[in-house]
Amino acid sequence: AVVSTQSTGVLVGILMILHAGFGSAQHRAHLRVSEQPYEGLPVDILTQCVLGFVIACIGITKVAGDFKDISATNDMNRKTMDSITNVPAFYHFAHRGRAIHSVIY
């Protein structure tokens, strides 16, 4: 099976982030053993983490496909006013009207 370049980018980016995480844990363990104070992560680990994040983000945006327009006017032009105001999630049939109706009639 042929794997696309975008999927490979996502995989490489995630692996780079994981490798940077393991590198930072190993760095902290080395500092504890050598009894040195922690003064932050080395530049190579930070660079690897940021680069992996950027590669993963670019790969994810390429895998997701084309973006839709942010304006809703294209979709709204095709709908009627009745379909816009009709929201089935607001239908509620279990209410006090049933109890009041049985008392009155």
Among 14-18, 58-62, 69-73, whose mean pLDDT is lowest?
Answer: 69-73
Residue 17 one-letter amino acid = I
Record the pTM: 0.60
pLDDT digits (tens, 9 = 90+) for 43-61: 999 999 999 999 999 988 8
Predicted local distance difference test score (pLDDT) of residue 61: 87
CA distances to 9, 14, 22, 44 from 38, rounded to whole Å, are 33, 26, 16, 16
Calculate mean pLDDT across residues 2-20: 87
